[in-house]
Amino acid sequence: MIIFIVIERSTMIELIDIYFERDNKIILNNINLKLEKNKFYSLTGPNGSGKSTLAKVIMGLTIPDKGKILFNGEDITNKSIDERAKLGIGFAFQTPVCFKGITVYDLLSVASNKSLTKKEACDILSKVGLCALEYIDREVNKSLSGGELKRIEIASVIARDPKFAIFDEPEAGIDLWSFNSLNKVFKNIQENNDATTLVISHQEKILDIADEIILMENGTIKKVGSKEEVISNINSKPCCKVGEMNE
């Protein structure tokens, strides 16, 4: 007798019939998507395809007109941003936010929801390519460059130790050395925490390390698959080449 055993990877995030429109324009058109545990996803697509909006719907920053969002099987559609964060969902904005009067150390401590030691905070900053001694006591304000703010925000997501981490175009304002280092950070979040990572990007270096790539177009999911499957689909379009797509 032959016994077949099917091992199914459990779903962390499930989007069911997500629909969102603004000013009579459909932004997300009945999105259905499952994101599995312990996988690295890259969400890509042309300008205006709905990538950032989809990420904000998952985090609770944007409320869909219709549809349902499940996190580890729990319906979180009506949960607040704070409630989703407590469940283990982390989000790094495309454009980082300044916090006048709050130091980098304060921000990382708040994000971690515990009293970090200076050494722990420094270790986190080192992961995103920042010299800890130069930044740990600086305020998170406009005296920092866009790239510095971006890396500090990514560090705050790392400090939270999320189960599901979303990064919206993390490469913006990041130098090449830090960009290569950040790729390792994304993979470490996934591998060390049994977490799922979703990175919105059009950079091929990020697409290279993804387990699966999600291609969006006109508010819909056009393709989910390996790099080879999705890139060939992208590059076959005359106005949609890898490295030329911007949200």
DSSP symbols for the chain: --------PPEEEEEEEEEEEETTEEEEEEEEEEEETT-EEEEE-STTSSHHHHHHHHHTSS--SEEEEEETTEE-TT--HHHHHHHTEEEE-SSPPPEEEEEHHHHHHHHHTS---HHHHHHHHHHTT--HHHHTTSEESTTS-HHHHHHHHHHHHHHH--SEEEEESTTTT--HHHHHHHHHHHHHHHHHHT-EEEEE---HHHHHH-SEEEEEETTEEEEEE-HHHHHHHHHTSTT--TTS---
* pLDDT in the model for residue 69: 96
Residue pLDDT, tens place only, 44-96: 998 889 999 999 999 999 999 999 999 999 999 999 999 999 999 999 887 77
* pLDDT in the model for residue 175: 65
Residue pLDDT, tens place only, 15-35: 999 999 999 999 999 999 999
Residue pLDDT, tens place only, 155-208: 888 888 889 999 988 876 666 656 677 777 777 776 666 789 999 988 888 888
Residue 123 class from Cβ within 10 Å (0-12 exposed, 13-18 middle, 19+ buried)? middle
